[in-house]
Amino acid sequence: MSRDAELRQKLHPIANHLIDEYQAGRLTRREFVRRLSVLGINLSFANFLASACGGGQNAASPTAAVPQTGSPAPQPTLNATPAGAGTPGSVPVVRAAVFMPAGKIDPITIADEGGLCLLSQTGEYLCWADEQLNLRPELATSWQPNDNASVWTFTLRQGVTFHNGKPLRAQDVVATFKRLTDPNSGSNALSAFQGVITPDGIKAKDEYTVVFELQRPFSNFPYLVSSDNYNTIILPEEYDGNYESTFIGTGALKLKEYQPRSKAVFVRNPTYWGKPAIPDMVELRFYEDESARILAFQGREVDVVTHVTASNGQPLFKDSTTQMIEFSSTTHLQVHMRTDTKPFDDRRVRQAIALLLDRPAIINGILLGKADIGNDHPFAPVYPSTDKTVAQRQQDLAKARSLLQAAGYGDGFSIKLVSWRGLAIPDLAAVIQQAAQQVRIRIDIELTDAGTYYGKAVFGESPWLDSTLGITDYGHRGAPDVVLRAALRSDGVWNAAHFKNTTYDRLVDDYAAATDLQRQRQIAKNIEELLLEETPLLITFFERYLIAARRGLSGIEPGAVGHLRLAHARFS
Amino acid sequence: MRWIRQYGIPLLRRLGSSVLTLWLITIVVFAMTNVLPGDVARRILGPFADERAVAALNHQLGTDRPLPEQYIHWLSRLAHGDLGTSLAMRRPVAQLLLPALANSAKLAGSALLVILPLSIFLGLVAAFSEGKALDFLIRLSGLVTTVLPEFVTSIAVILLFAIAIPLFPVTAVAPPHSSLPTQIYYLILPITPVTLVLVGYLCRVMRSSAVEILHTNYIRAAELKGLSRWRLLFWHLLPNALPPVIAVTANQLGYLLGGLVAIEAVFNYPGLGQLLLTAGRQKDFPVLQSGVLLVGLTYVLANTFADLLYWLLNPRLRERG
């Protein structure tokens, strides 16, 4: 038997399908590796497969072939200097400026970037979604779907202990996910698990195997149990809600001190299962204000600043002592146009508004080029399933005018745009307002605070969901499923555009059930084309995620959802 | 007995009306917090959380109970000396408020120690050189620094004196257990923008008050009598010119304690302003209400103190009783 055939025999059918796709040239090496990672195949093995099956020149060692239980997961690192330059030597302390956590630190309820950034210092996930959207094994060493991706089996790492010395067992994982899917726990992750899994579907098969029986097929399910769904750090079975006193977890760092509204200090966990933490101490200082974070960095009081915006971070871009870590995210602003209300009940009007916008100018003007272009659908370019052959929508004033003319709005109309004052929203609102003036559409912008805009976040009691025209911010997600469903499906709970289209609904279900990438991409193409035609939403850009770090500091493990792991950071 | 009649009864009356005022403030704050749309759990969990999770959290926090019940619950705990529990941080309000109040008081106190002497001095200099170039210069620069937003001056002083010339730290909090000089050193930069805003204002009040007094007949008479400049200044001018400055300063205390939001943000100073702003955003009414109550209380105390000073400085008030 050839080596190829031998390998294929051991692999899951979906993985074999991916190999076919890769060999046929329909997948790039990077996409191939990323898709394998979703199937629970560790990165070194995935890279080995890429080389073995695709004929790459740097075949990895076959000893890495089988996911090794108990072995440390390969650590993703962003190096400012080539790996190995500089000795790991002692790093006394790494200090980072992060967002002020919004409330009590409780993994169940946390919903803000400041809070979640704390979770991943000491806590770990079944898998870690890195900045390229690869899933890396963390507390799970491997995971397998059944044939239609409705049942997922996760094998846990052995030899892992919590900071209190208690060993990690399947019961802890089951309890963690039952808690998060329990409607009575106040879980912030409930909306992500809604319609996917209930507490009854989570079972321990043995001490180190957890089975998730889903309510429907879901090929991107591993993202829901990864760092991308940040509430899912694995907690002990007996967790009682008092997280703040211990920050209990399994991670490379453990809590030394937490001072609410001030800082959190972490030290090395001597019993960590993987590569030990490099710094003796990691200190996260909390700041309410972004300019304060950047000033503290410029004043050399911190070594890293998390999530810098392009506009505020500008002074750092040219600073020779600073390295900007930059990668694509799926964070975006959605401009919704209510498809059931005049004037947007006519699709031509919605298309016309979309055609007024000069997207490259918006990206350069508002985000100083730090964004990927959007094409009015949630498929960000960074998602592997995005079909990039669908033509990019371009500014076309003449076409916009003729569409409006045909729709009976040749003389324009007046409309109110509502949103909240924050992020790039006021700038985008102003750009839309100016663009609309060219076709005599008068937009009256009304910005409130975020709480007022979102209101009760249910239909009938929320300016967000009730307004005819509005702008809503969507954070990064490792897979597009949640946004595709909640923001656009007929029964979507965030469907501010009130978009109802049975073809779309069916396509989204098909997408979630599609287990191979080629199929996902075909469906994605249909969805992208349908949304371009219907244009319930304007999505003009996907922001890049920026982190500022002192030059020479390497080993930062970020995630676009807001993670900033510093356990393996070091100065060269 | 005369003393009690003279000072005690007005003081008691004042305190009574202050308590009433503070109580009304709590009702207004409570009503305003709850008029804002959305509920506490929704603010904590964010717009994208599941409705059932929001309902469950509201139930855990007790924010699903009728509003009057929530208010009475808070008030009855207050009567027992308990400021309540923060809804967002889920820890005793006192643990959050008291350190913040202490920090704010430290900042406000240090600022006043600079602001008061400086504005009195500049106001007097301007008054004595009324109509001359120096007067004009002081008034103009005072006007300029008053209208500059604190946010801008804060960033400017940091860029200049902490980054370009690294003389001072960016963050205003001294390490724990620091000596007094170190603590003062850390506070110099954040005090600067407050000083810039208030000195211009207070110095103009001082100037106009002093100019008015300088034009009175009794000052002229004292001058003609040949009193020394110093005696004139400390015996006749200051006691009569200071009351408006004291009144205005007392009125600024609320701002100094709870209103330095921008300065606290830029210097990452854990004062009351930021805490209350966050509490407002999160509809965390126990924190907001107790905080406003504390600021209000300080304000009332400061004004009572200012009135006392008034009495002491003004013989006519003292005589009248």
The 10s digit of each residue's pLDDT in A462-471 is: 999 999 999 9
A42 dihedral zone (left: phi>0; alpha: psi -120 to 50; beta):
beta
Residue B296's pLDDT is what? 84
Q: Say whether residue B64 is in contact with chain A using an 8 A CB cutoff.
A: no
Residue A327 has phi, psi (to 5 degrees) of: -150, 160
Helices B272-282 + B93-128 axis angle, to 10: 130
Min distance B103 CA to chain A CA atoms (Å): 13
Contact (CB<8Å) A109/B57? yes
Min distance A66 CA to chain B CA atoms (Å): 39
Interface of B with A in 82-111 (CB under 8 A): 88-91, 96
The 10s digit of each residue's pLDDT in B55-99 is: 999 999 999 998 899 889 888 988 898 988 999 999 999 999 999
In this prediction the ipTM stands at: 0.86
Min distance A63 CA to chain B CA atoms (Å): 44
Contact (CB<8Å) B37/A298? no
Q: Say whether residue B43 is in contact with chain A using an 8 A CB cutoff.
A: yes
For B54, name the nearest residue in chain A, comparing CA atoms only. A186
Lowest-confidence region among A65-74, A149-158, B136-145: A65-74
| pLDDT band for position A460 (cuts 50, 70, 90) | very high
The 10s digit of each residue's pLDDT in A476-489 is: 999 999 999 999 99
Residue A25's pLDDT is what? 67
Which of A99, A193, A243, A288 should one mutate to test binding to chain B, selecting the residue with the greatest count of B CBs within 10 A? A288
Residue A2's pLDDT is what? 55
Give the containing element (helix H, strand E) for A151. Answer: strand A151-156
A536-551 mean pLDDT: 96
* Least CB–CB distance from B43: residue in A288, A451, A493: A451
Min distance B250 CA to chain A CA atoms (Å): 29
The 10s digit of each residue's pLDDT in A397-428 is: 999 999 999 999 999 999 999 999 988 999 99
Average pLDDT, chain A: 88
Contact A534, A347 (CB under 8 A): yes
| pLDDT band for position A64 (cuts 50, 70, 90) | very low
* Least CB–CB distance from A186: residue in B41, B268, B274: B41
| pLDDT band for position A453 (cuts 50, 70, 90) | very high
Rounded CA-CA distance A450/A76 in Å is 35
The 10s digit of each residue's pLDDT in B178-200 is: 888 888 899 999 999 999 989 99
pLDDT exceeds cutoff 50 at A59: no
Contact (CB<8Å) B50/A464? no
More confident: B268 or A59: B268
| pLDDT band for position A560 (cuts 50, 70, 90) | confident
**Helices within A24-142 (DSSP H only):** 29-38, 43-54, 113-122
Lowest-confidence region among A70-79, A510-519, B88-97: A70-79
| pLDDT band for position A54 (cuts 50, 70, 90) | low
Residue A150's pLDDT is what? 94
Lowest-confidence region among A88-97, A159-168, B17-26, B76-85: A88-97
Contact (CB<8Å) B88/A260? no
Query: Chain centroid to CA A129: how far?
Result: 8
* Least CB–CB distance from A104: residue in B90, B163, B166: B90
The 10s digit of each residue's pLDDT in A358-389 is: 999 999 999 999 999 999 999 999 998 999 99
Contact (CB<8Å) B44/A295? no
Whether this model's pTM surpasses 0.90: no
Give the containing element (helix H, strand E) for A444. Answer: strand A442-448
Contacts of A455 in chain B (CB under 8 A): 37-38
Min distance B282 CA to chain A CA atoms (Å): 8
pLDDT exceeds cutoff 60 at B247: yes
